């Protein structure tokens, strides 16, 4: 499973000149609004014709301007979940879901209707019209509709952007399931760091029409030199781990990770389940010695690897904790006072309170197991 995308084109005053590769799983296209993310996936879907471009999905060339290959949108087999659900108002939920299935060749259909309905929890909605669905329900139906067309690749353009926080939390677990169980590679466009951190196996960072960085999610989120990522208010690293044990008396869960044990407020996953914890940079304190008599439950030993540039009041510091990356945001004053330098031994202090349900999701299968993408279908 591989995706190869390259496009160069002018759009008004804006120039898109981007290329990236993906190996399946969920690849997040991350960047500020207007950085060309949507234009790039529109090129993949065939909704935008670039002056120059090449798109190859699973070895099938969909676009090659030099070879004059340009497969029509409806023949590309690329699923697309738009920011607004774009459900057909004249069809019921069931009819919407089955729309694309009808066009997919019978021998080439992946996933059964029942499995997709089950995966997205759509059973109670099937007979309804689309008008009275909530925003979150609409997006789930739209995802099911795209999935049932048996796409080779699923594009999702900020599918949560139009939802409020509660609806986002409702849909996010389904996106995790989709990533781990549907067996379809996903290209996920977003400018919301929290979503990207929770979902991505790989991240492609875009800025002003260009790709400025790409790599494994934990790697990219642990960098302090990427402007939109490291400097944003929500900057932070992710650590994948496994649920070790629940403490029912105090309502805590202990997770094992490469960085060490993390204790977080009780989560619903069973011991053995793989999880991803997002640790925001502003929630990390650094100490030069192992702190004693401290309320914070998580103290991770590590080594400073990089100190962010800039002369603002704040600075981001990348720390290696047993091979996992953590980012701490300190005042520049504190960093100077502690004389932090690359190589310095530090202890990262993280309050369990900051690691709430929103910060913890299931980890992508690929990131914790060496096997390829699992498929239940």
Partner 1 sequence: MLTLSQDEIQAITLSLRVAAVATAASLPFGVLIGMALARGRFLGRSLLNALVLLPLILPPVVTGYILLLVFGRQGLAGRWLADHLGLVFAFRWTGAALACAIMGFPLLVRAIQLSVEAVDPRLEQAAATLGANRLYVFLTVTLPLILPGVIAGAILCFARSMGEFGATITFVSNIPGETQTLPTLIYTLTQVPGGDAAAFRLTLISVAISLAALLASEALARRLQQRLRAA
77 binds partner 1 (CB under 8 A): yes
Q: Which is nearer to partner 1, 128 or 181 (CB)?
A: 128
Which one of the spans 50-58, 73-81, 162-170, 324-332 is the region binding partner 1 (CB under 8 A)? 73-81
Q: Using the rule CB under 8 A, which residue among 31, 36, 50, 79 binds partner 1?
A: 79
Tell me the closest approach of the beta carbon of residue 86 to partner 1, in angstroms.
4
> Looking only at residues 80 through 109 of this chain, which bind partner 1 when binding is defined by CB under 8 A?
80, 82, 84, 86, 88-90, 99-100, 102-104
Rounded Cα gap, residues 85 and 98, in angstroms: 15
Q: Among 12, 13, 68, 72, which residue interacts with partner 1 (rule: CB under 8 A)?
A: 72
Q: Pick between residue 44 and residue 237 the one whose CB is nearest to partner 1.
A: 44
Cα end-to-end distance, the chain, whole Å? 16
Residue with Cβ nearer partner 1 (102 or 107): 102
With residue 328 as reference, give the H or E element that holds it: strand 324-331
Site mask for partner 1 (CB under 8 A), range 140-179, x = bound: -----xx--x------------------------------
Q: Cα angle vertex 192, ends 190, 197, to 5°?
A: 95
Query: Considering CB under 8 A, how many residues would be counted as binding partner 1?
Result: 29
CB of 75 to partner 1, least distance (A): 8
Are 153 and 24 in contact by the 8 Å Cβ rule? The answer is no
From the list 79-87, 220-228, 245-253, 357-365, the region that binds partner 1 by CB under 8 A is 79-87
Q: Which is nearer to partner 1, 99 or 377 (CB)?
A: 99
Give the footprint of partner 1 on residues 114-143 (CB under 8 A): 129-131
**Positive or negative, the Cα torsion across 194, 186, 4, 102?**
negative
| Cβ at position 2, least distance to partner 1 in Å | 21
- We find the least distance from the C-beta atom of residue 151 to partner 1, in angstroms, to be 8
Q: Least distance to partner 1 from the beta carbon of 80, Å?
A: 4
- In the sheet that holds 52-57, the strands lie side by side as 14-22, 3-11, 52-57, 60-64, 69-70
Nearer to partner 1, 84 or 244 (CB): 84
Which DSSP state fits 84? Answer: S
Angle at 230 between CA 228 and CA 231, to 5 degrees: 70
Decide: is 78 part of the binding site for partner 1 (CB under 8 A).
yes
Which of 49, 60, 75, 358 touches partner 1 (CB under 8 A)?
75
Query: Closest approach of Cβ 16 to partner 1, in Å?
Result: 19
Angstrom distance (rounded) from CA 343 to CA 321: 12
Minimum distance of partner 1 from residue 157's CB (angstroms): 11
Question: Within 10 A of 345 (CB to CB), how many other CB atoms are there?
Answer: 10
Neighbours of 151 (CB within 10 A): 22
Judged by CB, which is closer to partner 1: 140, or 278? 140
DSSP helix/strand/coil, 285? strand
Task: Tell me the C-alpha to C-alpha distance, in Å, between residue 336 and each of 4, 102, 293, 317.
Answer: 44, 64, 25, 12
> Minimum Å distance from CB 154 to partner 1?
10
In the block, tokens 């067996």 appear at 183
Q: How far is the CB of 91 from partner 1 (least distance, A)?
A: 8
Listed in sequence order, the DSSP H helices in 123-211 are 135-148, 165-181, 193-199
Judged by CB under 8 A, the residue of 11, 32, 69, 73 near partner 1 is 73
Q: Distance between CA atoms of 302 and 91, rounded to whole angstroms?
A: 56
Out of 1, 19, 47, 314, point to the residue binding partner 1 (CB under 8 A).
Answer: 47
**In the complex, minimum distance from the CB of residue 41 to partner 1, in angstroms, rounded to a whole number:** 11
Consecutive H or E run containing 126: none
Mapping DSSP to helix (H, G, I), strand (E, B) and coil, where does residue 346 land?
Answer: strand
Q: Exposed, middle or buried by CB within 10 Å (0-12, 13-18, 19+), for 261?
A: middle
* Positions in the binding site for partner 1 (CB under 8 A): 45-47, 72-80, 82, 84, 86, 88-90, 99-100, 102-104, 129-131, 145-146, 149
């Amino acid at each position: 499973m591989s995706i190869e995308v390259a496009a160069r084109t002018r759009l008004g005053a804006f120039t898109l000149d981007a290329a990236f590769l993906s190996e399946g799983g969920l690849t997040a296209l991350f960047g500020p609004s207007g950085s060309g993310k949507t234009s790039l996936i529109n090129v993949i879907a065939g909704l935008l014709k670039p002056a120059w471009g090449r798109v190859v999905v699973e070895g099938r060339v969909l676009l090659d301007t030099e070879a004059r290959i340009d497969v029509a949108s409806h023949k590309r087999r690329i699923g697309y979940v738009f920011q607004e659900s774009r459900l057909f108002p004249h069809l019921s939920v069931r009819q919407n879901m089955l729309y694309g299935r009808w066009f997919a060749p019978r021998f080439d259909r992946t996933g059964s209707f029942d499995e997709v309905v089950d995966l997205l929890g759509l059973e109670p909605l099937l007979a309804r019209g689309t008008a009275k669905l909530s925003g979150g329900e609409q997006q789930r139906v739209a995802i099911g509709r795209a999935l049932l067309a048996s796409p080779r690749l699923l594009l999702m353009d900020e599918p949560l952007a139009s939802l409020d926080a509660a609806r986002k939390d409702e849909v996010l677990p389904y996106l995790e399931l989709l990533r781990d169980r549907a067996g379809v590679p996903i290209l996920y466009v977003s400018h919301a760091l929290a979503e990207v951190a929770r979902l991505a196996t790989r991240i492609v960072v875009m800025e002003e029409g260009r790709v400025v960085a790409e790599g494994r999610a934990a790697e990219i989120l642990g960098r302090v030199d990427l402007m939109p990522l490291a400097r944003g208010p929500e900057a932070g690293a992710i650590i994948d781990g496994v649920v070790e044990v629940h403490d029912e008396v105090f309502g805590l869960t202990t997770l094992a990770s490469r960085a060490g044990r993390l204790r977080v407020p009780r989560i619903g996953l069973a011991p053995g389940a793989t999880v991803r914890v997002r640790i925001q940079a502003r929630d990390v304190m650094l100490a030069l010695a192992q702190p004693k008599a401290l309320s914070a439950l998580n103290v991770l030993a590590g080594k400073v690897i990089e100190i962010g540039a800039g002369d603002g009041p704040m600075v981001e510091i990348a720390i290696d904790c047993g091979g996992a990356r953590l980012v701490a945001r300190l005042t520049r004053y504190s960093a100077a006072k502690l004389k932090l330098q690359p190589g310095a031994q530090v202890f990262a202090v993280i309050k369990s309170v900051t690691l709430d349900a929103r910060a913890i999701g299931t980890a992508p299968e690929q990131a914790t197991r060496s096997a390829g993408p699992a498929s239940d279908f």
